[in-house]
């Protein structure tokens, strides 16, 4: 193996880290995160709930219609 190949293989190996450094990194990343205000969280929660209700109603209507169609076709 050439010296260049040895240097390249040494660079690809990750540095040994402490097991507890993971938690310090997690805390650091959480501090960088953008946290929504109470108003934004409420508005977005209402939006998600509304979309869930609308999609649920559409799926209910489709299920009911297909069930009726199947019963009519099978003579039930």
Identify the three-state secondary structure at position 33: coil
List, for the chain, all residue ranges whose pLDDT scores fall below the cut of 50: none
pLDDT computed for residue 1 by the predictor: 56
Query: 24-37 burial, b for 16+ CB within 10 Å, e for fewer?
Result: eeeeeeeeeeeeee
Separation CA 54–CA 52 (nearest Å): 6
């Amino acid at each position: 193996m050439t010296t260049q190949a040895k240097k390249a293989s040494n660079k690809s190996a990750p540095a040994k880290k402490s097991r507890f450094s993971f938690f310090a990194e997690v805390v650091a990343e959480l501090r960088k995160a953008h946290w929504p205000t109470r108003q934004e969280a409420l508005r977005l929660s209402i939006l998600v709930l509304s979309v869930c209700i609308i999609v649920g109603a559409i799926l209910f209507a489709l299920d009911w219609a297909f069930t009726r169609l199947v019963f009519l076709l099978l003579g039930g």
